[in-house]
A and B are shown apart, each in its own frame.
Chain A
Amino acid sequence: MSDDGHHILPKATLLKVFGGLIFLTVLTVAVAYVPLGPLAVPVAIGIAATKATLVVLYFMALRYDNPVNALTFTIGIIMVMVFITFTMIDTAFRGDMGNVDRQTMGEIEREQEAAQQQQEQIPSEQLRVAPADYPDDRGADAGAASGDSDS
């Protein structure tokens, strides 16, 4: 039987890849103690993805393998990406989930905006309600009355 289809990975290659994996493990632990702020998560996931790539390409020998296996693996990984991305597009932008009103959030926002604009259009003298709002004269009553007839 022919063995030509089977690539035997040299021991040196396996040991080199192993060394790389150990180095990246030490690196990711060391980096965890550096305050990276918002970069901490992408850096950690990036190092993990590099390690996983090394394992897949060399330990699992996908690099030297029948291309159909690489295709199977790649399609699977694309599906995982779709799964994570599309779920997070939903969960990250849901807004106020406690609101069970019939109105859509867009409608509520437009209504609030319209109310605000209306509020801004009313001249300040029409908003006087307390005696303290009428510092000057008795003529203010007339002003309030005319304001009512305007609206």
Chain B
Amino acid sequence: MATDTDIAPAPTETDHHDHPAHLQHHFVSSEQQFDSAKLGMWLFLITEILLFSAMFVAYAVYRQWHPETFVAASETLNVTMGTINTIVLLTSSLTVALSIHYIQKDEVKKCIYNLGATLVLAGGFMVIKYFEYTSKFEHGAYPGGMFDPHGGHYAQLADVPFASQFFSIYFVMTGIHGLHVIIGMAVIGWVAVRAWMGSFSSEYYTPVELTGLYWHLVDIVWIFLFPMLYLI
């Protein structure tokens, strides 16, 4: 009896103290845990891509049916604001990539600064989007049945057949993209706080890496939305 109890718990106890705090028991190593989490994230990103692809298909079908409508309606969007927002989002992608670069080199402070910069840029994106939306609403450029364009260069849209289709697609696509930006800001904020609390190091930074992947996907969706809605 005595020998049994002596032998049995001993290895588990040493196991417990040997592995780092972040490593869960069902993984062999930190490396395997990191790879599993990352594959899971890529699978999630694919579901996100498929979610957006449904809207891209809607855009392609309606554009193919009414090409003139899309050309005429996209001219009412503000290219300057769209370009600024593209550059803002690309810069935020750079800062989030830099935050991963610094946490891999154990420079936690620089990592937190870059996550903070990403948050500020994401907020800037939403502020510009807010001004764009309100200027559309002022002129009655609402989605779907509420579409009632008037004033400024929107008045001409009343004569463009199917113009409300463009604005339905515009608001749904940019709206769901904007929702992803807001969710991204919440996650980046949480990661920044955890980094500040000292949860991450070059040994363990999986949440920073996965948040970065998510944020780059949000950027990629905008990379396609910008020319499709504003330029062509």
**A interface with B by C-beta (< 8 Å):** 1-3, 5-6, 8-9, 11, 14-15, 18, 21-22, 25, 28-29, 32, 40-41, 44-45, 47-48, 51-52, 55-56, 58-60, 65-66, 68-69, 72-73, 75-77, 79-80, 83-84, 87-88, 91-92
Given contacts A1-B203, A9-B97, contact A52 B223 (CB under 8 A): yes
- Looking at the assembled complex, report how far the CB atom of B152 sits from the nearest CB atom of chain A, in whole angstroms: 21
Determine whether the beta carbon of A73 is less than 8 Å from that of B90: no
Tell yes or no: B94 within 8 A of A by CB.
Answer: yes
- Looking at the assembled complex, report how far the CB atom of B129 sits from the nearest CB atom of chain A, in whole angstroms: 17
Contact pick for A52, options B91, B96, B224, CB 8 Å:
B224
Determine whether the beta carbon of A65 is less than 8 Å from that of B223: no
In the bound complex, how far is the Cα of B86 from the Cα of A22, in angstroms? 9
Given contacts A59-B97, A84-B56, contact A66 B35 (CB under 8 A): yes
- Looking at the assembled complex, report how far the CB atom of A54 sits from the nearest CB atom of chain B, in whole angstroms: 9
Which of B5-13, B39-47, B166-174, B185-193 lines the interface with chain A?
Answer: B39-47
Chain B interface size range: 35 or more
Q: B182 — which chain A residues lie within 8 A by C-beta? A: none
Tell yes or no: B49 within 8 A of A by CB.
Answer: yes
Determine whether the beta carbon of B50 is less than 8 Å from that of A79: yes
Nearest 7 interchain pairs by C-beta: A76-B46, A44-B227, A32-B231, A80-B53, A18-B94, A8-B104, A91-B61
- Looking at the assembled complex, report how far the CB atom of A37 sits from the nearest CB atom of chain B, in whole angstroms: 11
How many inter-chain residue pairs (CB < 8 Å) link A and B? 131
Given contacts A5-B31, A66-B35, contact A55 B98 (CB under 8 A): no
In the bound complex, how far is the Cα of B50 from the Cα of A75, in angstroms? 11
Determine whether the beta carbon of A2 is less than 8 Å from that of B86: no
In the bound complex, how far is the Cα of B27 from the Cα of A1, in angstroms? 14
Q: A56 — which chain B residues lie within 8 A by C-beta? A: 216, 220
Q: Can you list 24 A-B contacts with CB-CB less than 8 angstroms, sorted by A residue number?
A: A1-B29, A2-B31, A9-B101, A14-B98, A18-B94, A21-B90, A21-B93, A22-B87, A25-B226, A29-B231, A32-B227, A32-B231, A48-B223, A48-B226, A52-B220, A59-B97, A60-B213, A60-B216, A72-B42, A77-B49, A83-B53, A87-B60, A87-B61, A91-B64
